Amino acid sequence: MLAELQIELARYRAARVDGGPVVSGKVVACDGGLIEVSGLALPIGSLGAIAGDERAPETQEALAEVIGFRAGHSLMMLLGDTQMLRPQSAVRAVGMPGMVRVGEALLGRAVDGLGEPIDGGPPLELPQSWPLGGKRESALERAPVTQPFDCGVRAINALATMGRGQRVGVIAGSGVGKSVLLDTIAGKAEADVTVVAMIGERAREVSDFVARHMTDARRGRMVVVAVPADHAPNLRLRAAQYATSIAEYFRKNGKSVMLVLDSLTRVAHAARELALVLGEPGAARGYPPSALAAITRIVERAGNSASSGGSVTGVYTVLADGDDMNDPVVDTARAILDGHILLSRDLAQRGHYPAIDVPASLSRVMDFVVAPEIVEAARQLRALIAAREDNRDLVMMGAYRAGSDPALDRALEHSGAIDEFLTQARGTAFGLEESLVDLLALSAQAQSPKPSLNA
């Protein structure tokens, strides 16, 4: 008897006491991760806390998110595991529907998709709120891209120059070096604030990234939002939206923000899981229309602000499943982004880092952010690289006769200098001005006539 009373007292002590009326409901069904709740009329995107097992006081409340409605019931999906979930469990509304907490205190911290610290630091005091889905603005609110952006990678700075406020995709198959390239960009790019969203990646990569980048002087300018692959799909999608909201908040304050999202494909996968759970039919290779639309909504939130003068420069990785560059996610991202950096598996296998396929990569704003002579030098160098790669097999077999193609002759003559220019050691950075000077020097060298043997 005493033991039972002690359990009841412990349960009462652990119960939360709310200062006002709380909207609540009851769990009536749970099927395949989808929870039906009666009596809880909340907007989509709202959070609810599901009470734990009364017979096990040590169990905690489970957070769930409203993702739809059916027959008067709210459809929710847990943001964690379904352990200890019971029928008729009480569900109460928590937080502000559709809003997330943001603030300067996020700088130097690593958080999850709910804004909770995962770095072992103290709790965050975040007085400001921001819409999770962003604030929709008119097209004329987006200022044009006119200033170059230094990403720290020479091949990109010189041959696919980025602009402040641009959205760029890093596209490649698995194991080609997307995450490593983004690691270099996140650590070396010039920006007031860097927001890194690691969505659906391995937990080891998250801990390694935090250990490398959250210990030096750059820590005070960086925010990490991480949700590994083993977490719920709605939490992964929410993390991508939360990271974008953080970037929007700092942009409103006039900051130059770089948003690094790894990866956009995992976000599409999470949106696909949610859509299929809700019964939406699959369309393009199993992707429901809403899953591909989620990519567009997230990408379109980046850009320049005409009112505040701030900017969000977005760098997104896109995983090409099976190295298929016509994958629906790749095709959708390539159409909405302002440029793409394509990584080649062949170059990666040769030990060429970064393995950027220069002829297949482009920046749609390069002509507006650098001088015309830089654009022309980049065009000439890209032509030489394309001629060399297109005829690589012919040259390797010894079937090419020198003098047949002047452009290929120049490319082969300066092949060593071109490879030296395109590669850089991991962890090193080349500034924008240095990259452009090197480009002009290499272009002049490659276009100069070959000295005569009789001279």
**The pTM is what?**
0.88
- Would you place residue 422 in the very low, low, confident or very high pLDDT band (cuts 50, 70, 90)? very high
pLDDT at residue 437 is higher than 90: yes
pLDDT at residue 166 is higher than 90: yes
pLDDT at residue 58 is higher than 70: no
Query: What pLDDT digit, counting tens, does each position of 63-74 carry?
Result: 899 998 888 899
Give the pLDDT of residue 21.
61
- Would you place residue 247 in the very low, low, confident or very high pLDDT band (cuts 50, 70, 90)? very high
DSSP letter at 287?
B
User: Whose CA is closest to 320, among 338, 337, 342, 336?
Assistant: 342
Query: What pLDDT digit, counting tens, does each position of 438-454 carry?
Result: 999 998 888 775 554 44
Q: Supply 250's token pair.
A: 């700092």
Average pLDDT over residues 144-171: 94
Percentage above 90 pLDDT, the chain: 47
Query: What pLDDT digit, counting tens, does each position of 248-269 carry?
Result: 999 999 999 999 998 899 999 9
Residues whose CB falls within 8 Å of the CB of residue 417, separated by 6 or more in sequence, listed in order: 442, 445, 446
* Proportion of the chain in helix, strand, coil states, percent, rounded to 5: 40, 20, 40
Question: What distance in Å separates the CA atoms of residue 29 and residue 23, rounded to the nearest whole number?
Answer: 19
Give the pLDDT of residue 455.
40
Rounded mean pLDDT of the chain?
87
For CA atoms 153, 333, 163, 210, the dihedral sign is negative
Question: What distance in Å separates the CA atoms of residue 438 and residue 441, rounded to the nearest whole number?
Answer: 5
Q: Are 410 and 391 in contact (CB under 8 A)?
A: no
User: Whose CA is closest to 354, among 417, 427, 413?
Assistant: 427
Query: What pLDDT digit, counting tens, does each position of 293-311 carry?
Result: 999 999 999 999 999 999 9
Can you give the C-alpha Rg of the chain in angstroms? 26
Residues whose CB falls within 8 Å of the CB of residue 305, separated by 6 or more in sequence, listed in order: 141, 142, 143, 251, 252, 311
- Would you place residue 121 in the very low, low, confident or very high pLDDT band (cuts 50, 70, 90)? confident
Q: Supply 260's token pair.
A: 């690094």
Q: Are 264 and 333 in contact (CB under 8 A)?
A: yes
pLDDT at residue 100 is higher than 70: yes
Give the pLDDT of residue 6.
66
Query: What pLDDT digit, counting tens, does each position of 173-205 carry?
Result: 888 888 889 888 988 888 999 999 999 888 888
Contacts 24+ apart (CB under 8 A), 279-288: 284/328, 285/327, 285/328, 287/328, 287/329
Lowest-confidence range among 31-35, 153-157, 381-385, 426-430?
31-35
Give the pLDDT of residue 12.
61
Q: Supply 362's token pair.
A: 């482009």
Give the pLDDT of residue 18.
53
3-state secondary structure of 377: helix
Burial of 159 (0-12, 13-18, 19+ CB in 10 A): buried
Give the pLDDT of residue 281.
84
pLDDT at residue 15 is higher than 90: no
Question: What distance in Å separates the CA atoms of residue 441 and residue 435, rounded to the nearest whole number?
Answer: 10
Question: What distance in Å separates the CA atoms of residue 75 and residue 71, rounded to the nearest whole number?
Answer: 10
Give the pLDDT of residue 9.
67
Ordered by where they begin, the domains of the chain are 24-96 (2.40.10.170), 100-119+130-367 (3.40.50.12240), 374-447 (1.20.1270.330)
Query: What pLDDT digit, counting tens, does each position of 313-363 carry?
Result: 999 999 988 788 888 999 999 999 999 999 999 999 988 999 999 999 999
Give the pLDDT of residue 452.
46
Average pLDDT over residues 194-223: 85
pLDDT at residue 375 is higher than 50: yes
Residues whose CB falls within 8 Å of the CB of residue 206, separated by 6 or more in sequence, listed in order: 110, 198, 224, 226, 228
Q: Rounded to the nearest 5 degrees, what angle is found at the Cα of 304, between the Cα atoms of 146 and 235?
A: 140
Determine the distance from the C-alpha atom of residue 39 to the mean position of all C-alpha atoms in its chain, rounded to a whole number: 37
